[in-house]
Structure 1
Amino acid sequence: MAAITVENEARPGSRAVAKYVRSSAYKAREVLDLVRGKPYNEARDILTFSERSVSDTIAKCLDSAAANAEHNNELNGDELFVAACYADEGPTLKRWRPRARGRATRIRKRTCHITMILARYTEEEIEARDNRMALKSSGRRASASEARRRRVEASRQRDAEASQEDTETTQGSEEITEKSEETSDAEVTQGSEEETTHAEQPESNDLEPEPNDPKERES
C-alpha cells in the first residue's frame, strides 16, 4: 500500500504525496487530468465512480490533503479546490519472463509518486459560486412551479373538453331517441289507421255463386 506523506514546498496550498504507487505515471496522469481544477467534493465524486484502479490511491491522497487543510490551516472542505496535481516517475522494478529458445524478456513494473495540492477559493469566487447556486436553486423552484401550473392548466382543459364531449354525446343520443320515438309513434298511428280502413271496407266474395240451372253448370 502506498505511503501518504506531507511535504512543504514553495507552491502554496495544503498538499499530500503518495509515494511508490504501483502504477505507471501515464495511467495516473489520465485520472489526474479529470480532477485538476475541480472543487474538492466534485473531484471526490469523480474518483469514486472512476473505473481505473489507481483512482482509489488518488482518492486517499486527495482526502489526506483535505484533512491537512482542515487540521493544519483550519480551512473548510467546501471551500477547497484542486489547485495542482501531478504524477512523477518512480523507480522501476525489473523482472524477467522466460521465452522461446532459452531467452528471457524483461518485465518493467513501474511506480510513480502522486502529489495533490488543495487551495482555498478567494472571497470573490466563493461569493460568485454561492450566487450561482442560489440562482440555480431559485430557477429550479421557479421552473418546478411553472411546470406544475402548466400541468394543472392542461388537466383542467382536458377535463373541460371531456365534459363538453360527454354533453354533446348525451344531447345527440337524446335527439336520436326522440326521433326514433316519433318515428315509431307515426308508424304505429299509420298502422292503426290502415287497420281501421280495412275494417270499414266490406268484404268481397271472390267465389261466384253456383248456378241453379244444370245447363249453366255444363257450360
Structure 2
Amino acid sequence: MTLTAAAAAAAAVRPVLAAGLALPAGWVMAGWGRRVCDSDSHWLRGWVVAAVAAALAWVAVGLAGSWWEAVPFWILGVVSALLICCDLAVMRLPDPIMGWAYPVVLGTLTIAAGGSEQWLRLGRALLAGVLFLAFYLVNALVFPRGIYLGDVKFAGLIGAWLGWFGWLHLVWGALLAAILGGVVGLVLILLRRGGLRTEYPYGPMIAAGAWIAAVWLI
C-alpha cells in the first residue's frame, strides 16, 4: 500500500471510529447531564445524547486532516452533543460542563498544533474564539431575552473550532446560526406556539451553524 493509499484509508476510518466511540461516551455523559441539569427530560436520555454525539463526532472528525486534529474534534463533538441536549431540555448550558470543555478542547487543540506544527493556525483559532465570544456577548447585552451567557460561552468554544479552519468559516457560522434562529422563530409563530418574545434554545443554532459552515466550506 502506498503512502497516499494509506492516508486515504486512515481518513476513511477516522470518522467511523469516532462515531463508534462517541456512542458509549454520549450514553455515559447523559447521566452527568441529567444530574447537572436536574432534569429527566427525554433530551437527556442516554440513547438521544449518544446518537447526537455520534453524528457530530462523525462529521467533525471527518473534517480532521490528521489524527492530531481528530482528538480535539471528537471531544468537541461529544461535549457539544451534551450541551445541545441540555439546552433543549432546560434551556441552559451548564457551567460545570462548560468549565470542563474549555481546558480539554483547547488543551488538546494546542497539542494538535504542536504535533502537526500548526502554531499559526492555533493562534487564529484562539483569536477567533475570543472574537466569537465577544460578538455573542454584545448580542446578549442587546437582546437579553434571546442570547444568554451560556450561549456566549459556548460560542467561544465553537468559534475556536471554526477559526482553526479559517475566518470565512467563522463568519458563515455566525450568519447560519442567525438564519436558523430566525427560521425556528418564524416556524413557532406560524404554528402558533410562540410569538416575537418567545424564548427558545439558541445553543443548537450555534452548533448547527458551525457544523454546516465547516462542511460547506471545507
**TM range, smaller chain:** under 0.3
Indicate the structure with greater strand content: 1
The structure with the greater share of residues assigned to helix is 2
TM-score normalised by the chain length of structure 1:
0.25
Greater relative contact order structure (CA < 8 Å, 6+ sep): 1
